[in-house]
Each structure stands twice: as C-alpha cells, then as structure tokens.
Structure 1
Amino acid sequence: MKRKKIITQKTAPYIFCAPFICSFLVFMLYPMINMIYTSFFKLEGINTYNFSGLDNYKRLASDTHISAAIFNSLGFTVGIIIVNIVLALLLAVLLNHKFTPLKNIFRSAIYIPALTSIIVAGIFFRLFFASNSDTPLNTLMQFIGMSPKEWLYDTKITGIVALVFTSTWRYLGTNVLYFLSALQTISPELYDAAHVDGASAWQRFRHVTLPGVKPILIFVITILTYGGLRMFGESYVLWPNSKTPGDIGLTIVLYIYRTAFGHFDMGYASAMSVVLFICLMVLNFIYIKTLGIGRKEEKR
C-alpha cells in the first residue's frame, strides 16, 4: 500500500500536466515544426510539395508588398503603444483618485468594449470611417468646415489611424484595469510624504506613480508590441477586399493569411511566418535586456 501511494504521488504531477503537454505538442510545437518544414517547399496542385530550398526566403527581398505590410504593422504598433500607454495611464490615475465621482460605474463602463467581438467592432468602425457624407466622422468634418474623406482608402496614414482607433477603443479598458491594479499597490503614505516635502503633482506622478507601475508598464508595452505586430482581425474586417490602393491596411499577418489561403502559396506564407517568428524572438531578447525583465533588483 505504501509503495502504491509513493508511485501515485510521483505520477500525479505528470497526469495533471498531461493535458497541457498534449495540447502544446499538438497545437503549438507540431504546427511550428511543420511551418519551418513547409517553408522550404513550393505547393503545386492540392497536396503536392516540391523542394525549393531557400527560394521562398529569397522572394522576401524582391516582394513589393512586404515593405508596405511591414510599414503598416510598425506604424500601427507604435501608434497603439503610445496611445494605450498615455491614455490608459491617465484614465487609471483619474479613476484611482479618491475625489473622482462614480468611479465604479466608469471602471465597469470602460471595460465593456473589451467584451465586444472584433468582427462586430470592425464592422461598426468600417461604417464609421466610410466615405458617405452622412457618416459620423464625415458629418463632424463638415461641421468644422472640411470636406468628407474616404478615410479607409485615402492614405496609409489614415489607414493606420483607423486601425489604432479601432484597437484602442476595444483594448483600452483592459489596459486601464492593468494600471489600476498597479496603482492600488502603491502606498498612500508615499504620496503624503511627497506632498509634505513640497512635491508638485507632476513630481509625485514622476517619482512615485511611474516607479510604482513600472512592472505593469513593461508588461503592457510587451503585449502591445506583440499584439501590434501580429494584428490580423482589425485589418481583415476594415478592408474586406483582397487588394487596396497602395496596400493601405495591409499588415504582416494579413499578408501571410492572403498568401496562404488566397493564393494557396503555403511555402512562401510559411517562410514569412518563420521570419516573423524570428523577429519576435529577437525583439523579446531586446526587451529582456533593455527593460530588465526578470532581473533581480540590486540591493541598496
């Protein structure tokens, strides 16, 4: 009986971890290995692969669409980082202030868009940015004396702004909650001490609030960066057509999707996915080194 109990205690962790390990092997590791393998082949027909070596990777240097996809993805990533960090942190500070009325209602209301499906949100903002003169945005532009615009097909800049606006509306509430949780861990005594020492509101924010939310700030920057570079849903819904003038709204992941399932060029799509994966891993390494993720604080 004792021997059986010891065996059960030793095998129990493996039994509990088995579902995760199986899911990881089937849905993560195998697709990644298959992606790398497929990147060296060219699909001909339905299920006929011919070895092409590094040809798929060489195509990246001469592809006329990949540069537009990279520009749009980087512009979108920078935009959502700036907007979501600045706006979310300011809103979190306001909602954390003891004199702000109806704080709980505003906290709940600001999170509601995060529960909305990306398809629903994308369709709404596709209509919001439409070229009709009676759309909300163009109505506002005419009210201030400007002519209506076809925002989604005007320039790459307006396309990036539309993507940033759509994503910010949907994910701002989540980032506000992240910062709120960090603000509530800061001791009020630190603010009282800074106030007694004559620190202004900006100095209290800079020397008390920012250091207190630094771990969450790094976390939010990291997930926004990854979310921006692998963004797909917003661009897919805002621009349902396969092609747009000047590749407006074309992002890296959307281009991979259209290459794989629109042109059935699985080999080239896999090659782009491998390069994107390597870039994300390099970016992750840079974040770890520069932002001090996982580094123990030095003793004073």
Structure 2
Amino acid sequence: MNHWWRAYNEAVNDPKLQLLSDALFRAWFNVMCIASANGGELPALKDVAFTLRIPPAKAAQVLAQLNVAGLLDKTETSFVPHNWNGRQYKTDAVDPTAASRSKRYRDKKRDASRSQGVTPDVTEKRPETDTEQIAVAVDARERRPLIGPEALALAEQLLTLSGHSPAFWPPAWCGAPMRVQTWLSQGWQPEIIISSVKSVMAKRQGKQVASVQFFENAIAEEHARQAAPLPQVEIREAQTKTVQSHGKPKSAVIQAIDDLNQRIADFDDRGGSDELRGPAGEASPRLLSHG
C-alpha cells in the first residue's frame, strides 16, 4: 500500500534543512519516505541502508548527521523524524471513524438549519479535527530552530578535539550540539570552551572522550577563574634614614665613616701616644710594646 507524507512550504526558510549539503538533503527526503512507509519510525539499519542503496556504515553516518541537525529523534530502538506525530497527523484516509463523524456533524447542522428555515450549505467544509488544531500550534513553535549554526560547528570541533572523526558521530555524541547550544545560551564563550577542552585532552594524552558532558566541569571552572576579580597591588615608597652633620643631611653609612675618621684624627693629634682615650672619668689604658 502506498503512503504519503506532508511537506510544508516553510521548509524553504528552515535553517535545519537549508544548511544541509545537497547529498544530505536528498538523504533526508528519502528517510522521510522510509519513515512514512513504516508508521513514522525507521526500520533496522540494514533495511534503511538497502532502501538508500548505500552500505550500512554510510547509512549510520547519514542518520547520525540528521540527528545532530535536529531532523531525527533517537528512540530506544531506532530513529523517528522530528515532530512526526505533530506534522503527520491522522486524516480520513487512515482514520476509519473520521468519515462517519463528519457525516453526523453535517447531518446535525442541516437539521438545525431546516428547523430555523435556513437553506443549508451543502458545500460546507468539515471542521478541523483536534489533531489538526494541535498541528497548527506546533507549527508555530517549530519555526525557530533549537540549534544554531554556531553550536553545530562548535560541537563538531569539540568532537574532533576529543579524538573522534566527524565522518561518524558516536551515539553518545549525538546530543552534543544541543548541549553546546545550552552552553552558548548561558553565556559561555566559545574561545574558553575550546581552550578548556584542549587542556583536558592534553592531560589525557589523546585518549578519546565518551561524551561532551565530560568537559563541563573544566569549562565551568575556567569561566569562573576568568570572571574572578583581579588582585589589588599596593606600591609603597622605600624609607631612607638620614642624620644631620655640619648642617648637611647625610646617610647613616657616611656618618659612621666620618665618625671613624674623626676618632683616628684625634688619636694622631696626641703624637702617636700609646695611650687610648678611655671614657670620661676613667684611667686611660696603655698599650704595651712587643719589645
């Protein structure tokens, strides 16, 4: 049985789609067709690979990239297109009760009009179902992308720094762009994030990291350190002690030298006497000769 799925004209302005490469955009369209044929959920990887006519490894890479772009949501067993139930709501073609409900509604409106003498409008449009009204509300919320281009690029850079290849995103890294978008929304700076990750990886000596959350503590600590106030520096002038000699200021060292020279001069003035001057009021000591 052939199925069809809805495509909305707002897709032409959706960054999540328009930033895809041509090859990945074509793969997304085919993945949507596969999901439509399987009730909204993708089948096993080997079946997806067969339908896309590519190897399973390449199919896994495609699904990971679409998941990172926010176009596929991961379930416990597989992937589903983002907001599939909201956009691909049930219609009369798949809801066997819709036709009978619509007929009862039209009959009720016709009977009410006849009782009031009003000719019913046989071309009256059936009312929108609850799912259709919900879908309109969901569409309004979906117009703003959850993950910006900067977060996508930064997440891929962190993946590379962590020792992984951008050609294949490990399952634990599929939510990295959303986490990085949260960091950026909280004011974390890309430069500090990158430098912190490089510092952590240098200590790990190239050992791979399982998920981007591994770096959060180091990034938070570096942001806190960068935001800390700078230390206050106080410069004090050096103190110089001076003494007064003959009306001129001299330093303590020069004054000591002058005092010593004066004492030697006083000793010479006594004609080479072998006596030393003692304190006032005491006998002067006498020098003894070696002869």
- Report the TM-score, using the length of structure 2 for normalisation: 0.25
User: Larger radius of gyration, structure 1 or 2?
Assistant: 2
* Structure ranking higher in helix proportion: 1
User: Highest relative contact order (Cα 8 Å, sep 6+), 1 or 2?
Assistant: 1
- Report the TM-score, using the length of structure 1 for normalisation: 0.24
